[in-house]
Every structure is written in structure tokens, then in C-alpha cells.
Amino acid sequence: MTKPPRLIGLTGTNGAGKGEAAAYFRARGYACHSLSDVIREDLAARGLPASRDNLIRAGNELRRRFGPDVLARRTMAKIGPGERAVIDSIRNLAEIETLRREAGFVLLAIDAPIELRFARAALRGRDESAADLEAFRRKEALERAGGAEAQQLEAAMAAADRLIVNDGSLEEFQRRLEEVA
């Protein structure tokens, strides 16, 4: 059996199950961190709500102001030496490059069919800024093809060490995750 990774990065599409994957690893002793938490902290300091649109906009602003890997650097500053952690919401190649410098890092891409993801997002009850499936598709298109200082979801998923498709039951998804740690 191979040694479990020290750091598990999660990238993937909205509603695919990254939060469920993080919860799975948390239950196995991993601390949980999200690059989006850095953005949420910035929004809170400015008195702005953490809507999906605001998260995207503020994340891109932070990348422009402080470098495209700022979210990864700020998150790694919160992780202790040797600590096992899962790092969610990775969406930029510079973030991945920074995290790959850490020993024991593996990047998982989580995906699912868009119709299933839209239904899951609607059930979460968060402000997803997409009232219907077509709006959800348009929003995702913006996330998939950003520049160096924006979200680059397509490229981030392509850079993953492993793709896990979450198109079945929670138990099936957990079995796929079990192969990682």
C-alpha cells in the first residue's frame, strides 16, 4: 500500500462534490482548508456578501493585486509543518504550481454531469447566481477559461493527478475517494 498524501488538493466544477470529498477526508483526520476562505475573509472585511459572483470577482482582484498564487500562499501559511490537510477550491495553475512544491501533495479533480451539478447546487440553497440551467452553464463558462490572474478551471482540472466522476450515490463516490487516502 502506498503512503497516503499529506496534502490533498481539490479542484472541479461547481456542485460536483468537492465539499463532500473534503468532509470525507476530514473524517479521516485531515484538516480542511479552502482557498475560497481567503476570499470570504476579504469580502467580510469589506462588508460584502459571499455570493458566487462576489467570490469570483474578489478572487480575481486578489490574484491581480498580490499574484496569481496568493490564495495558495495564504492558505499554506495556515497549515502546520507535517499537518495532513485537504485544500479545496483550487482554480488556478499558479495555485497548483505553488502547492506542488509541498511534499506529499496530490490534486484531485471532481466532476459530474452539469444537470446533476445544477440540481445539487439548487439544493444547497447558496447564492449560486444562476436561476436556471442555462445561467449555470454561462457562469461555468466564465470560470473555465480565465487568464493567468483569474479562474482557470479547465486548465486546473487538466493538471489534476486524478479525475473522480461523482455521478452516482454518495457511497460510490466515497469508494472512489477511498482509493486516494
Per-residue pLDDT tens digits for 43-86: 999 999 998 789 888 998 999 999 999 999 999 999 998 899 99
- Three-point CA angle 53, 54, 60, nearest 5°: 95
User: What does the pLDDT average to over 87-111?
Assistant: 95
* DSSP string computed for 99-143: HHTSTTEEEEEEE--HHHHHHHHHHHTS--S-SSHHHHHHHHHHH
Q: What was the pLDDT predicted at 1?
A: 43
Structure pTM?
0.89
Q: How far apart are CA 125 and CA 100, in angstroms?
A: 33
Amino acid at 61: E
Q: How far apart are CA 32 and CA 178, in angstroms?
A: 17
CATH number at residue 168: 3.40.50.300
- Within a domain: 53: yes
Q: How far apart are CA 57 and CA 41, in angstroms?
A: 14
- Within a domain: 169: yes
- Within a domain: 23: yes
109 by Cβ neighbours in 10 Å (0-12 / 13-18 / 19+) ranks as: buried
Length of the chain: 181
- How many structural domains are present in the chain? 1
- Within a domain: 2: no
Query: What cell numbers appear for 179 in the block?
Result: 482509493
- Within a domain: 14: yes
Per-residue pLDDT tens digits for 31-48: 999 999 999 999 999 999
- Within a domain: 64: yes
Q: At residue 26, does pLDDT exceed 70?
A: yes
* Residue 138 structural domain: 7-178
Q: What was the pLDDT predicted at 23?
A: 96
- Within a domain: 1: no
- Within a domain: 13: yes
